[in-house]
Structures are given as C-alpha cells and as structure tokens.
Amino acid sequence: MTDGAALGGAVSDARDRLIEFVGRCPVDQWASCPLGDDDPRTVGVIVDHVADAYEYLASWVTELARGETVEVTPVVVDELNARHAGAVTAPTREAAIEHLRRSGDEFVALVMSLRPEQLSGSEGRITRFADIAARHADAHRAELEDALGL
C-alpha cells in the first residue's frame, strides 16, 4: 500500500485501540509486569514504548524521505528500546496517553504528507515502517490483553 492516507489511518486506528486498552486496564495492573521473564517492563512502560517507537520511526522516515541512508538493525532497535526502558520507569496513564496521541499524530501527519513516490521509494522502507508502526501498537495491545486476561 503506498497511499499515505491509508497508511496513516492504519497507524491511527491501531494507536486508538491501544489507548482504548489503557482505559480498560485495571488500575492495579498498570504498574504490573504481566509478561514475566520474557519482558520485565510494566504495562505503563510498554504502552509508552509504543509512543517512543513512533518517534524513532518518524526520524527514520524523515531521513529516507530526504533520500538519506538509514541503517536499522535489530541491535539499533534493541538499544533504543533499552534506553527507553531505563529512562521511563513509571509513566502515568495520562502521560502515556498524551505521549501516544502526540507522537502518533506526528507520525501519521508525516506519513500522510509524503508523496506516493516517497512512500514507495527507498525500496519500500517508508511503507514498511508505517506498517510496523500499526502492527507494533496492535501486537503490544494484544499481548497485554492476553497476559492480563482482558
């Protein structure tokens, strides 16, 4: 899909489903670590991590849209995620939702502003990053819902 509106809509919809989950998450579970040894982060940190990911995805999309080279590896992503987990230890629901709205809106606006040739250029990486942004929010929401039995 190389339509900015459709890509942006998919990201926005997934982000909104995550925000809806935050509203349903029991207060006593917000600071829990329901994923256990697989992921020791709290629900709040995982939710805020999605908002943080919109920001680094946006930086990569911006660079690609300018024709710059972007090196993204699992090591780079792991470092970004570890840095976030160390810096954001106890976000409130309100702060996490605000971060999701702000960074998600900025990412969506960026994707929607790009011309079709920009979206499909760079070997389709911009489109893939937008797809990742949508799937990322849904994947974390689903894993948290499963872990919490919601």
Q: What's 118's domain CATH number?
A: 1.20.120.450
- Is residue 82 within 8 Å of residue 130, measured between CB atoms? no
Higher-scoring residue by pLDDT: 86, 138 = 138
Which residue range is the domain that position 119 belongs to?
4-148
Q: What is the DSSP letter of 121?
A: T
Report the distance separating Cα 90 and Cα 95, nearest Å: 10
Report the distance separating Cα 78 and Cα 23, nearest Å: 28
- CA 85 to each of CA 41, 90, 112: distance values in angstroms, whole numbers, following the listed order: 7, 10, 29
Phi, psi of 53 (to 5 degrees): -65, -35
- What domain count does the chain have? 1
Q: How confident is the model at residue 3 (pLDDT cuts 50, 70, 90)?
A: confident
Q: How confident is the model at residue 113 (pLDDT cuts 50, 70, 90)?
A: very high
Q: What percent of the chain has pLDDT over 90?
A: 76
Question: Does 111 have pLDDT greater than 90?
Answer: yes
pTM here is 0.92
pLDDT, tens digit (0-9, with 9 covering 90-100), for 22-43: 999 999 999 999 998 888 899 9
pLDDT, tens digit (0-9, with 9 covering 90-100), for 53-99: 999 999 999 999 999 999 999 999 989 988 888 888 889 999 999 99
Question: Does 1 have pLDDT greater than 70?
Answer: no
Question: Does 148 have pLDDT greater than 90?
Answer: yes
